[in-house]
Chain A
Amino acid sequence: MPLLPFRIEVLWSDALVWLLVAGIAVYAAYAARRPHLRAPWSRVARNGSAMAAATVLAVFVLIGLLDSIHYRPLLPAQGGKAAYSTELRSALDLVLSPLRAQREKTYSAPFATRLYAKETVKRADGGEAREFPRLRHGGKHLQDPDDSAGDIALRAFRGAVAAALLWFAAALLLAAALARHRDGGIEDTWRAVWSGRTAVPWRAILATLGVLALVAGPVVALAPHYHVLGTDKVGQDVLYQALKSIRTGLVIGTLATLVTLPFALVLGVMAGYFKGWVDDVIQYVYTTLSSIPGVLLIAAAVLMMQVYIENHPELFPSTEVRADVRLIALCVILGLTSWTGLCRLLRGEALKLRELEYIQAARAFGVSHWRIMMRHITPNLMHIVMIALVMDFSGLVLAEAVLSYVGVGVDPSMISFGTMINSARLEMAREPMVWWSLAAAFLFMLLLVLAANLFADAVRDAFDPRVAMAGGGA
């Protein structure tokens, strides 16, 4: 028998995600020891709306990371040989296993106890009737399925109280931890936090956490017994889909920008530093690429990738692997088609830098071109890169939904905001309308993109020397 009841499976995107996490950790350690990098970040950390946004983002990232640990559960042994399930699950699936497992037959509204469509049901007395049949899982503990309001209210209330208590305990712990730093009493610190007298705006962070807890508490309490956001056409819980979509959005938002970086950085710095024919060639390349309307170029590239995948099925052993490779390919394509804007910015900045005296001095000392670019130009462009990284994220999350609608997004089997909207769109004409899939995708996307936009604005204000000089940053 194998030691563990599961086998860890590392998908390509998982590996990249964790590599990215490691990279961010290294960067954080590096930046913490350098005052010129620490200063802008501490400006971000003192910004109330940015920290509230960062709190929301952190929750999303946590869900995304949980969803990036995949494993195959062990099947009940047959004939003494260990066999693992063909179904790939993630740590998030494990946490959400009631949501994942409780499938209904088809559509059901949020908190419903009956299906959304009438069916012919056999009565106990042998006759048949057209009625809304009861759900298999939603509200099955109820005696009377049509009297669920009281039960829902009670469970929601209990969840909210538990969440509020947890939140209060966390706030107290924070005050205690802060008090040790400030050499003051807990009570004193508590007051400082709530009157906004701390350097880091803990009040904003705690308030955001409080709101999140008050929403999440009742949802957590209700989710095992009801479909809080309803179910979709094949009876899958919409809340589960929305939570699974987060990873797809995060992966596209981060990996695609990372793909742009090497091209934009290397070519932009080279064009600006060398000028002359190198500049001409690089300018020509990015003018050519950016002259093709973005969606069309992406569509053409994705179509070609689809043909390639269809013709080489032997390379992709399972649907999960295929969907994963498609996701990475989409990130690469998005990156390859969108590095031109950043490249143009970096070229312009490098053109200015190369004329400055310290570069002239370096050249007079005989420092090699390569070393000048690496040590003297690139570090002074990093603020632009950082701003571009955070600003592009939200645009990419939005782009995923549009691309999936056009049919050149993620694999149809992969849960994402785009595929959710796409399948819900078909039910728009239905009477009464099936609105909950759209509402769920709308809410989650809005929250993610809004938080990313607010955070990105703060990062831009903190890193952009023009804004920082003008005394801004607040």
Chain B
Amino acid sequence: MTAYLVRRLFYGLLVLAGVNVLTFALFFFVNSPDDMARAQLGAKRVTPEAVDKWKRERGYDKPLFLNEKKSGIERVTDTVFYTKSVQLFAFEFGASDQGRNIGYDIRTRMWPSLAVQLPAFVIGLLVYISFALLLAMFRATAFDVAGVVACVLLMSISSLFYIIGGQYVFGKLWSLVPISGYDGGFEAVKFLALPVLIGVASGIGSSTRWYRSIFIEEIGKDYVRTARAKGLGELRVLFGHVLQNAMIPILTGVVVVIPLLFMGALITESFFGIPGLGSYTIDAISQQDFAIVRAMVFLGSVLYVIGLILTDISYTLVDPRVRFS
């Protein structure tokens, strides 16, 4: 099993290398640093001096892959590719195009993101699975049909409207919570309540339906018929057999997103003014700060790769059939 995990780890590193090359190509081949400088400086008639200054300050004036002017190891290290891409592997994110330290920003901003995402994730999981089990229990009845119709209706509403509606009803109409903002410590609860609630609510439709379809598929299998033939009650069948066996498809979808909780939710954070990584990314996009976007792309894939490896580990925990060779 260790050998398998080591192999997965190396594969993960290979994937990250691919992501790195891809983002590098996207950011430096589609447009040259000159183009980016001109787009950032705004006006059409920027002087060549201003462009050169912008590039020098941010280290984009180096050659892309090979620095002919330097000797020894610096021929490779004193290049855009090394300083901007390879160093991401050491989590050296460098400075943003505005001159801020990206690594520091990420370290401070990931906690508010997690404070919204983790409760939303845990509560959401419990709510969705309970609803789905309930629908599965009453499958093929009017209750089930109504539940599925409600799910389709809920998943047809844009996530933007969940946020707008929630802010309007809870924040403005009933004044239960502040509309936006954030505070450290215990005060954070009143700012977090609504984003968490909305995070859970906006996923109810699609997630409940997804879990329900997993349960329904399990219920159709032979071992369930055997369990019934032995005279087990509906509840024992659902909780003792179906839920356990549905863990594999559930884990496949769930474990992989756990590390990504650090990244935050783009839209929610920006609507609620939560100083997390999601709003950080949105701000970077609107300010066209390419360094931050590059860093976030890399961070996102690192977390995803970690999620994949965690998924592999979780299989061994719930399914004795999964044997690694």
List residues of chain A with CB under 8 Å of any chain B CB. Answer: 284-285, 287-293, 295-297, 299-301, 303-308, 310-311, 313, 394, 398, 401-402, 405-408, 417, 421, 425, 428, 433, 438, 442, 445-446, 449-450, 453-454, 457, 470
Q: How many A-B residue pairs have C-beta atoms within 8 angstroms? Tell me.
A: 128
Main secondary structure of the interface of A (DSSP, over half): helix
Interface flags for B302-316 (1: CB within 8 Å of A; 0: not) read 001100100000000
Residues 261-302 of B at the A interface (beta carbon under 8 Å): 263, 266-267, 281-282, 285-286, 288, 290, 293-294, 296-297, 300-301
Is B5 engaged at the interface, CB distance under 8 Å to the other chain? Answer: no
A402 to chain B, nearest CB (A): 6
Q: Is B153 an interface residue (CB 8 A)?
A: yes
Cβ-defined contact, A303 with B293, below 8 A? yes
Among residues of B, the one whose C-beta sits closest to the C-beta of A294 is B300
Q: Are B164 and A406 in contact (CB under 8 A)?
A: no
Which of B20-28, B63-71, B224-232, B242-250 lies at the interface with chain A? B20-28
0/1 per residue, B36-64, Cβ < 8 Å to A? 10110000100000000000000000000
Report 7 cross-chain contacts, Cβ distance below 8 Å, ordered by A residue: A291-B15, A307-B36, A405-B160, A405-B267, A408-B285, A425-B164, A449-B157
Q: A310-B38, A311-B39, A407-B285 are in contact. Are A300 and B23 (CB under 8 A)?
A: yes
- What separation, in Å, do the CA atoms of A301 and B290 have in the docked complex? 11
Seen from chain B, the residues whose Cβ lies within 8 Å of a Cβ on chain A are 11, 14-16, 18-19, 22-23, 26-27, 30-31, 35-36, 38-39, 44, 152-153, 155-161, 164, 167-168, 172, 220, 260, 263, 266-267, 281-282, 285-286, 288, 290, 293-294, 296-297, 300-301, 304-305, 308
Q: Which residues of A contact B26 (CB under 8 A)?
A: 300-301, 304
Across the interface, name the chain A residue whose C-beta is closest to B36. Answer: A307
Q: Which of A300, A402, A433 contacts B297 (CB 8 A)?
A: A300
Give CA–CA (A401, B163) in the complex, Å. 13
Shortest 3 CB-CB contacts between residues of A and residues of B: A288-B18, A450-B156, A293-B300
A296→B282 CA distance, assembly (Å): 10
| Dominant SS among interface residues on chain B | helix
- A58 to B81 alpha-carbon distance, docked (Å): 51
Task: Check B156 against A303 for contact (C-beta < 8 Å).
Answer: no
Contacts of A449 in B (CB 8 A): 156-158
A402 to B159, CA, bound (A): 8
Q: Nearest chain A CB to B17's CB is how many angstroms away? A: 9
**A288, B159: Cα distance in complex, Å:** 27
Chain B residues with Cβ below 8 Å from A417 are 158
Set B15, B19, B152, B267: member contacting A406, Cβ < 8 A: B267
Q: Which residues of chain A have C-beta atoms less than 8 A from B297's C-beta?
A: 292-293, 296-297, 300
In the complex, chain B residues whose CB is within 8 Å of the CB of A293: 260, 263, 297, 300-301, 304
- How far in angstroms is the closest Cβ of chain B from A437? 11
CB closest chain-B residue, reference A302: B285
